[in-house]
Amino acid sequence: MGVTVCVGGQWGDEGKGKVVDLLSESAQMVIRSQGGNNAGHTVVTGGRTFKFNLVPSGILHPSTVCVIGNGVVLDPKVLLAEVEQLQSAGADLSNLVISERAHMIMPYHPVLDRLEEAARGDDRLGTTFRGVGPAYSDKVRRIGFRVGDLQKLRFLEKKLGFVLPLKNDVLVKLYGAPPFTVEGILAEYTEYGRRLERFIRDPFPLIQGAIARGERVILEGAQGTMLDLDLGTYPYVTSSYPSSGGALAGAGIGPSQVTSTVGVFKAYTTRVGYGPFPTELEGELAEYLRERGAEYGTTTGRARRVGWFDVPVARYAVAVNGIDALAITKLDVLDDLETVRICTGYRSKGRLEDHPMANISHLKHLEPVYEEHPGWRSSTRQARRWEELPAAARSYLERLAELSGARIELVSVGPERDETVWCGGAG
Ligand code: GDP
């Protein structure tokens, strides 16, 4: 019981959707606390695939209250499409709550996202063009619009009268793009407000009430630690805080209320978009892992870059998030390899580094130091207990846990819910 924080330990796409879905089976509440509709989760259950951008994946458990927290930015149009899609797939959304403090993506944000990326030229970040970064920037500039504003239309109109000229100035004068009108945005967002009204609330009493009653509350992270605005590979990061500290701020929960922090890691590493990736593989092996692991983005379909498991990254993630349990996913993707490698450190200008450095130009020119382990060359997909995993796979996992500094709680060996090995702390 108590609060479990679930964070991505790498560059996102670690399989948090499945892990949160498993953890939320016994949870009364799941809170998505940060990020926007640039993130995506996939949950496979009973042969059906559900894709989530904003709605917490706990929604598939009918009695679980699912909260979109104050740290999220959301595009109401995208959220409504997701709500409709989930409803038509038979999901019950009566337990969905959207924080009135969550910020909204406005129609000019995706336009500015695209224009700003183009202006960066070779230094582009590889954003998803959903307007998430520009919306977070406006939140920090204190010219953002919050979900609660949809319930105060006169206030929304007055604020647009002040904010929109600032936005239009940039669009028209800097980029030669067409301007937006107050009337157009007001009409569009009034309609969103009408359709979202039944979900909009202040979740503070709900969340603190659940904690006070000793219920199980899961914080569902989006993206991963190495994409954290402060702790990741800046500037090739997301515009929010995927680390556990960000998750708490984005849900309105204090650190002493947390019982456990689960770090989700793939048994190898992937990264989407640009930026340093010390253990990146190229060529045939990369292609093989990408195909076998279906490493294409949930939101954009972009091919992910792939590489070996990176212990300096994992150890760093364990420390900065306070991770006490590991969930290792996609072990099955490595099933047929003759050998597997673990990066234990980086060599840089004759020195051995054991954690990712702040200076990304250093990270780009590192030589990873690898340990090689024998592969297990047999399927792990039928394993349900630790002892049922091949001995070589167990050794590999034990070594990952030992080097990363946390125990293994579960190993995922396939996308389905039941393709899971609960280990209760191996390694
Ligand atoms: P998230 O954003 O961290 O939730 O990750 P995604 O949902 O984008 O990516 C995870 C993908 O891997 C999804 O398609 C899952 O169905 C799939 N997946 C999750 N766990 C496993 C696993 O153990 N093995 C395999 N083969 N696929 C998995």
pLDDT value for 370: 97
Euclidean distance between CA atoms 264 and 41, whole angstroms: 13
Which atom of ligand 1 is least distant from the CA of 264? Answer: 3
Contact 20, 278 (CB under 8 A): no
Q: Which of 384, 126, 67, 405 lies closest to 251 in space, CA to CA? A: 67
Pair of tokens at residue 8: 């991505």
Euclidean distance between CA atoms 82 and 107, whole angstroms: 18
- CA of 255 from ligand 1 middle (Å) equals 28
13 catalytic? Reply is: yes
Task: State the DSSP string of 351-402.
Answer: EEE-S--S-HHHHHT-EEEEEEEE---S--TT--SGGGS-HHHHHHHHHHHH
- CA of 295 from ligand 1 middle (Å) equals 9
Contact 116, 138 (CB under 8 A): no
pLDDT value for 299: 65
Euclidean distance between CA atoms 257 and 79, whole angstroms: 29
The verdict on the CB of residue 295 being under 6 Å from ligand 1 is no
Pair of tokens at residue 205: 């009493």
Euclidean distance between CA atoms 70 and 80, whole angstroms: 18
Specify the residue for token string 């001995």.
Answer: 391
* pLDDT tens digits for range 219-276: 998 999 999 999 999 999 999 999 999 999 999 999 999 999 999 999 999 999 888 9
pLDDT value for 425: 54
The verdict on the CB of residue 56 being under 6 Å from ligand 1 is no
Residue ranges per structural domain of the chain = 2-90+203-426, 103-198
Burial of residue 195 (number of CB atoms within 10 Å: 0-12, 13-18, 19+): middle
- In our burial notation (b when 16+ CB lie closer than 10 A, e otherwise), range 123-138 reads eebebbbbbbbbbbeb
The verdict on the CB of residue 16 being under 6 Å from ligand 1 is yes
- CA of 11 from ligand 1 middle (Å) equals 13
pLDDT value for 57: 80
pLDDT value for 231: 96
pLDDT value for 121: 85
Contact 329, 412 (CB under 8 A): yes
Specify the residue for token string 């909204």.
Answer: 104
- CA dihedral defined by 226, 232, 238, 242, rounded to 10 degrees? 60
CATH code for the domain defined by 103-198 = 1.10.300.10
For 330, half-sphere exposure in the C-beta direction (CA atoms, 13 angstrom radius) is 23
Pair of tokens at residue 15: 């399989």
Specify the residue for token string 């006070």.
Answer: 212
Question: Which stretches in the chain have pLDDT values below 50?
Answer: none
Pair of tokens at residue 427: 């390694």
Euclidean distance between CA atoms 315 and 309, whole angstroms: 11
Contact 189, 160 (CB under 8 A): no
Name the residue at shortest CA distance from atom 18 of ligand 1: 415
Pair of tokens at residue 362: 């250093």
| Pick among 3.30.300.130, 3.40.640.10, 3.90.170.10, 3.40.50.720: CATH of 2-90+203-426 | 3.90.170.10
Contact 247, 4 (CB under 8 A): no
